Structures are given as structure tokens and as C-alpha cells.
Structure 1
Amino acid sequence: MKGLRETDFAYQAVYRYLTTLINESIGHGHLRLPSLRHLADRLNVSISTIQYAYSLLEKEGRVYSVAKSGYFAVPVSSTDLIQSGNDLLETVYVNARRPGMFVLSADEPALLQPLDSPLLLMERELLRQYPRQPLPTSQPFGELELRTALAARYTSSPVRCWHAEEVFIGADLRGVLEILIIVLGLNDATVVVESPCDWAILRLLQAACVRVIELPVLANGCLDFDRLKALLETESVRLVMVSSALNMPRGSLAPDDNRRAIAQLLGQHHSWVLENDCYGELCFEVGRLRFRDLLDPERLMVFSTFEKIIGPEAHYGYLLSKHFSADLQRHFLLRSFRLSPIRQKAIARLYGNGRIDQHLHVLRRLLKERKGQMTQLLQERLGDALQVVEPQGGATIWVRSLRQVNVRRVFQRLLAHEVVIAPGELFSLQGLHAQHLRLSHTLGSEHDLALALGFLGDALRLEAID
């Protein structure tokens, strides 16, 4: 079957096949899709497998059935794209979710090698082990087995150790960070963040009226020690947020000596530190020094998500904190996250049996290979237009235009060719990175990357500022 991975369930491959057919139908009205029997013969799977894939698409509103006529793709107008407006982020989001778009802005490393099949298999096994067990409708702090597994994974020594009661799991990372902002009283407080910074985090801080001071990452990947020192001495900084290892979207790693100097400076000022570990497992070189290896654990909090390494089937966010437990518990109770206990147990078992580590070994290798292919293509096709920051991990590449260009207009031009990029200004609240772009290198084979890069090169030349 075309596109079938060894770890797929058959219906998943059928689902992807049908999704491609539907995406190709945009602009062709009510396209009739293959019959159950015809598709079963074509793909060499059972009719029940085809039926299940169609039923999933029907629930999503992507297809509809007509008695005695079969299934049809739901037509999508090609004229309802949001191509202009003041909210650039909204425009990126809307267009990235449209069928048929080439999403060069994506940051989804796990989609290159998702762990959904082992996760779902483990879940099925656990459902047999725990038949009809009465389970609570809500788990305010997360499943104990998973919290214990995370505490063990983050423990590196008798001094730098964590316990299950210091781990909090929420339905998604956004919900966890919203609680943290409330508990820490960050409204109208001053927070220092690395820049560039994830746009979702910046928007959360902005919505909470947090005063954000951006600390730009230098060209060599270092954090500016003198700038941070001056900020800590002159500003009432409530919190400093740093990346555990990779700064994303740059994909760069601060040298160990710079990391030690920053950690020592933060320790001298007794600063609260929030470590972003969403990409900590995605460094190409394992065993790199992380901030939590250097900082006082009593002044440290860590947040992350499973989604970047497992995939969308594990969308939970989590937080590790040795303090504020009463307030955190109260707000997690008030939020009353509804989390699947069996799904959380399945994730915990994948950590416990070493399956996550095996998966990460393969995922890092694949990401590194794709990074090499993408950077080579960028240098060959756009070497005279873009400077590439060589990523040390992750699923994206940070590039800078060598000419002064209007990147927003570049973005708009590419939308006309059904290509979505992420302009660098999204990763700052203070107008930084206006000449930068984030590009994905984990792209499916259904799109022509060379053609998309050709469109990008044309747009960069046309929008150059004299």
C-alpha cells in the first residue's frame, strides 16, 4: 500500500490515502470517492478497514455518504483563505490548516516518525488488563503512574531529584502554562525570555499583561551575559525563562561555558527560572548540558509536552515544580482537566520499558538526515538569498534574508502558490527577527519542495527593499 509504514494500522494508511485524494479534489466540486470494494481491491485490505477509515473522515466532516451512490468529498471553496489582515499569526494558522497547502511553517517533529501505533497497542493491552474498572471522570494532577515515570526521568542525582507529587499534568501545554502564570502572579510582572521565542508562549504572556523583556540569542548561540546581568540589576525581574538545551526556532545550542556563566548569574540573583524542555530530547547530540543540571532545583520549574516526541495522540503538557504545590493543586482542581487514565498509563509504560528511548534514537537520526537534505537544498537553490543557521536539533531551520525584504509580502506571495511559511516576526513581541523565516524540514512527499523553494526565491527577489 502506498505510504504504508511498518508500524501503521491498516486503517491509518487508508485514512492517509483518502486524505490525499480529498486534498487533490479541492476546486473540483463534489468529487465521488472510490467504492468500498474497489478501494479494498486496490489497496489489498479488508472492506471493513476501508469502512472504518471512511467513517473517521465522515465524523470529521471531510466526506459524506449518499445511499446507493457511495462517498463524496465535501467541497472546500478555494476563495476563503485569509490572505490579509493585521493578525499575522491567525493568518498563518488558518492557511496552515487548509487542505492542499504546503505547510513550510510546521514544527511537528514526531510526525516524521510518530509513536502512535505502539501507544495505541499499549493502550489496548491495558484495557484488557483493567476491564470495566471504575475510573474517576477527572484527574486534576494526572495519572500517578505517569507522574512517577516523569519524576524518575528528570531525576539525575540525589540532589537533583523529583517526586511524583511535584509533577502536574494537564490536557495540553497551554492550559498548564495558563495555570502557572496565575500561580506565579505574572500579571503586570516582568519576565525575561530568550528571543526568538515560541509564538504560543509569547501570546499567552501578552494576554496575561506580562511585561516581556526579550534577550536575543547571539549569532554564536550564546545568551548575552552582560545584557542579562544588567537586566537583573536594574529591573524587578519576576522570572527568567530559558531553553533546557535547544533554543527554538533557531535550533542552536549555547556553549557549555556560556550556559554555566548564565546559571551562575541566575544563582547569584536568586532568580526564579522556568526551563522550557519541549525540545530537550531532540538534540542531535545526546548528553548535552542542560540548565537544570546547573541551577538550584529549589528555584527551578520545568515545563514540557509529550507531543513533540510522541505525536498528537499524546498532547498533554506537564510541569515540574518543588514550590507552590498548594496553589498549583487548587488551580488544577479548578481547571478539572479530563485526561484519559489509560492513555497516560500507556505513555508511562512506554517510558518504563525503554520504548520511548528507542523511538528517540530513530527520530533524532531521521531529523538529522532531513536537516542535512534541506540545508543542502537551501544552499544550492537559495544560497545567494538566505543565510542558514545550522540547527543542532529539532524539525525546523531558521534562515535570514541576505537582502532587506518585506517578509510579510513574501508570505502573502507564497500563499498565492498555496505555500505557508513562518515569518520571523511571529517569534518576538518587540519587532525583532523581521528578516528571518522558520522553515520545516519534515515534509511529506506529496509536495514538490524544490518548486516551493523556487516560489520562495522569486518572492524574496520581488520583495527586496532597495
Structure 2
Amino acid sequence: MTAVRETGFAYQAVYRYLMQLMADSSDSGHTRLPSLRQLANRLNVSISTIQYAYSLLEKEGRIYSVAKSGYYARPASCTVLTGNGSDLLETVYVNARHPGMQVLSAEDPVSVQSLDRPLLLLERELLRQYPRQPQLLDQPCGEIELRTALAARYTTSPTYCWHAEDVYIGADLRGMLEILIAVLELKHATILVESPCDWVILRLLQAAEVRVIELPLQACGGLEPQRLAALLSTENVRLMLLSSGLSMPRGTQAPTDNRHAIARLLDEHGTWVLENDCYSELADAADGARLRDLLNPERLLAFSSFEKFIGIEAPYGYVLSRQWKGELQRHFLLRSFRLSPIRQKAIARLYGNGRIDQHLQVLRRLLKERRTPMIHLLRERLGDALHVVEPQGGATVWVQALRPVDMRDVFQRMLKHQVVIAPGELFSLQGLHNRHLRLNLLGHGEHDLAGAIGLLGDALRLAPLE
């Protein structure tokens, strides 16, 4: 590994190692691959480097992951799973990574344009400037240069200001959320969550035995203040999980008056807020107001990641919090995240030189240009079967069936045609959104798009009613 790393990035060497490992065991079916930590110890590289390599192999359809089990190599002759009797989310994941599948379930904005190449080029320049630092100088909560850049970006006034010591950077978003669940002692606690909600977040809360109460978003994109007020008055709510701006997978933003009403209620009840800021950079209106600028910053935590708008080479997650400093630092020390300080510096420089803002302007425009013909085609061909929720940003479209069809049946009919969709029930723990779908057609040409929509229309018409 040492010799290979001298001529390329470490993750490329790990990628080649895994390719050879899978080739050596090609006759043994779905071979289980080493865990992230096992492989990091074996090859003497960081866990984040292993994650880069695994993520690349997943995108290429060579491996797949199974929750609480690990990564597996996919045989070339692997057949499509129909999902009968199995976990729906696992079925979506496995089939989405199967070679030859048309994936309409993904949520990958940077597939349009990423910053991976500029990031790696800048990292290469920085490697010449900074010698490899001793392990003792590692910063467990993240590189100070990047923490400072993030604090500056989130600061909007003397009241709503952040400092580097308020920022914590981890290997990925999942790891950050696991730390927050532990620090906030959410096990068996009650939290309120806007719905629909990202399935990764929901599954983590479910695994941690958190009591989740879902509040459906209204047609306007906001929450119902009266219902929220009733819950805050009758339930022992530990905190509320809300989007900072753009709410995904719905792709909408709450109106200004609704946002102010919700913020006033939360302030009156002294409710802690956990703000999901993963998608606010992808909103069409780049200067849109953030929920955090209306809340008490002393009872606020915000989390996000770089991967949605930079790319796979920046998988780090981060959290901002003025409180819980001791507990957060302790958990970060226990996790012992081994993050590349040079890559973190490179991300900080992309913020500092304005490259990220330039990239975001282009990315937002490209996403909107790709969504527009997709929405037009959906309304033109399936207007009698689907209602399209007009997105205000992001890479996906949220649609609702006009008839109470069995969406699981639609899902499996599409699988038989080697097309993967994301049923709405994945975005709820309480059986909401059963008539909804999240669609992403960004990676397909005009012919594929029309064909996929035609198949979806057939599946919707043939599916039985609930």
C-alpha cells in the first residue's frame, strides 16, 4: 500500500485492493467485505479513506451495503430482488446498486456537477505545502481552519453568530447523528419531526428507540401551528427536528409567516431545535431565510454535510452547537475520527476563495434546468394519475397518486422492468405518504425519461386500490 500511495491518492489504492480482493473470491457468491475499521487497520489508512473507496464501488454497482451487517461484493450474475417479504428500504438500496437498473429513487445532486476534481487538485497543492503532521497534533473535533470557515458562513449578526469552538466535524453525517442521539440522550425520549423526512434520519432514530411524532407538512410547505401548539402543550417533547430552509424529499420551503409562527411557538415553550441544514444550499432562492435566524441560538443545534453539494470526496458531516461542549468533545474523542487535515483545509480554502459559492450558483441552475422538462413530461403524460408538488430546489420531485393505489405493487411492477422508484412510505415511520413517490430522473436522457414515465403510468393504472 505504501508504494502505491506514493503515485496516487490513498482511496485509489484501497479501491484497487478491494477490486483484487473481490476478484480472488469471485466464485463464493455475495462475499462479505471487511468492515471500515478492519480495513483501515489492515491497510494503515483512515476510515474516511476506506469510505471513499467503498462509496465509489457502490456507485459503480460492484458492492452493496446491508444495514447492521456490512458491505458485500455483488456477483456479476446477481438477479434483481423483488422485495417480497423483505425490508423495503433494503430492497431499494440493493436493486439501485444492481448493474443495468434504471434508478429513479436516487437523491444525488452532484451527479449533475461536483467539486471533487477541484477539491483533489487543491489538496494536492496543499500536500506540497504542509508536511505530514504527527498524530499528536490531530484535532478530534475537526481542522480549525474548516471549523472557522463554517462558523463564519453561519454567522449572520451579532446575535446569530458562531465561533470555531461551536463547530464539530466528523467522518460522515450518520456518525454525527449517532453522536447527537447519544449526547442529547434521545433514547426513549419524545421528539417532533416534520414529515416526510429523510429515511436515514428516521432509521437512526428508530434504531435508537426514540419516540418519534411526525407532523405532516401542509400543501403550502409549512406546519400547522395549532397542531404543533397542542403537541407542545400535552407531550414531554425533548426537541424538534426541522429543516432550515428547503425540506426534502418534498423539495419545498415554508412560507415566511408560517416560519415565524412556528419559531414563536418553539420559543414560548422553550423547545430545543435540531435543524437539518443538509439541503438549504440547494434551494433555488440562494438568499432565502433560514429557520435558525428566527430561533433562540442557545437552544439550537444544526447539522449538515458537504457531500450533497461538493461530492463524494467530501463526505464529512458537521454539527454547530453553543451548548453541550463537554459532552460533544468527549464523544468525538471516543469516536476517534481519523479525518484528513489536508482535505479539510482544502474544503476551507474552497469556502475562502469563493469557489463553493460560484459552484452553487451553477449547480442550482443546472438542477432547475433538469427538473423543468421532467416536471413538464410528468404533467403532460400522467396528469390524470399524479399530482406533482412544485419543487423549490434540489434534485428530486415529490409526486402523489390521485387514486389510492397500492404503491408497493407499483414499486414491484417497476422492479420487473428494472426500474427502481422510492415509495413515499420510506419517508415515514408511522405509515404516512403511502400514495407518494420520490422521483429523480436527472441522470437519464430524453428517451429514457419518456420510457420510464410510460412504465410508471402503466404501473399506476394496473396497481390495485388499497
- How does the TM-score come out when normalised to structure 1? 0.83
Q: Deviations over 1:55-78 (max 9, x none)?
A: x98xx9969xxxxxxxxxx96114
Q: Deviations over 1:417-462 (max 9, x none)?
A: 1110000000000000000000014214497111111111111000
Tell me if the contact between 1:304 and 1:318 (Cα under 8 Å) persists in the aligned partners.
Answer: yes
Between 1:334-343 and 1:186-195, the stretch displaced more is: 334-343
Unaligned 5+ segments in structure 2 are: 1-11, 16-55, 64-73
Residue type at the aligned position of 1:418: Q
Task: Report the Cα distance in structure 2 between the residues aligned to 1:82 and 1:142, rounded to whole angstroms.
Answer: 42
The structural deviation recorded for 1:319 is: 0.2
SS in 2 for 1:448: helix
Name the residue aligned to 2:253.
253
Mapping 1:154-165, distance limit 5 Å: 154-165=154-165
Mapping 1:33-72, distance limit 5 Å: none
Name the residue aligned to 1:405.
405
Tell me if the contact between 2:102 and 2:419 (Cα under 8 Å) persists in the aligned partners.
Answer: yes
Quick check: 1:324 aligned with 2:324?
Answer: yes
Task: Report the Cα distance in structure 2 between the residues aligned to 1:382 and 1:255, rounded to whole angstroms.
Answer: 28
Tell me if the contact between 1:196 and 1:248 (Cα under 8 Å) persists in the aligned partners.
Answer: yes
Tell me if the contact between 2:109 and 2:308 (Cα under 8 Å) persists in the aligned partners.
Answer: yes
Name the residue aligned to 1:459.
459
- Say what the alpha-carbon RMSD is for the aligned residues: 2.3
Tell me if the contact between 1:104 and 1:422 (Cα under 8 Å) persists in the aligned partners.
Answer: yes
Residue type at the aligned position of 1:92: V
Name the residue aligned to 2:224.
224
Mapping 1:55-204, distance limit 5 Å: 76-79=76-79, 81=81, 83-136=83-136, 139-204=139-204
SS in 2 for 1:432: coil
Task: Report the Cα distance in structure 1 between the residues aligned to 2:396 and 2:289, rounded to whole angstroms.
Answer: 21
SS in 2 for 1:241: strand
Residue type at the aligned position of 1:271: T
Task: Report the Cα distance in structure 1 between the residues aligned to 2:327 and 2:447, rounded to whole angstroms.
Answer: 48
Residue type at the aligned position of 2:360: L
Unaligned 5+ segments in structure 1 are: 1-11, 16-55, 64-73
Mapping 1:278-427, distance limit 5 Å: 278-427=278-427
SS in 2 for 1:118: helix
Q: Deviations over 1:3-44 (max 9, x none)?
A: xxxxxxxxx9xx9xxxxxxxxxxxxxxxxxxxxxxxxxxxxx
Task: Report the Cα distance in structure 1 between the residues aligned to 2:98 and 2:143, rounded to whole angstroms.
Answer: 35
Task: Report the Cα distance in structure 2 between the residues aligned to 1:290 and 1:109, rounded to whole angstroms.
Answer: 20
Task: Report the Cα distance in structure 1 between the residues aligned to 2:391 and 2:337, rounded to whole angstroms.
Answer: 35
The structural deviation recorded for 1:175 is: 0.5
Q: Deviations over 1:153-190 (max 9, x none)?
A: 00001111101111001100010010100110100000
Number of equivalent positions: 403
Name the residue aligned to 1:28.
none
Name the residue aligned to 1:275.
275
Task: Report the Cα distance in structure 2 between the residues aligned to 1:354 and 1:141, rounded to whole angstroms.
Answer: 24
Task: Report the Cα distance in structure 2 between the residues aligned to 1:413 and 1:372, rounded to whole angstroms.
Answer: 26
Larger Rg: 1
Residue type at the aligned position of 1:318: Y
- How does the TM-score come out when normalised to structure 2? 0.83
Task: Check 1:262–1:132 CA distance in 2 against 1; reply closer, same or farther (3 A cut).
Answer: closer
Name the residue aligned to 1:48.
none
Task: Report the Cα distance in structure 2 between the residues aligned to 1:62 and 1:224, rounded to whole angstroms.
Answer: 45
Tell me if the contact between 2:82 and 2:415 (Cα under 8 Å) persists in the aligned partners.
Answer: no
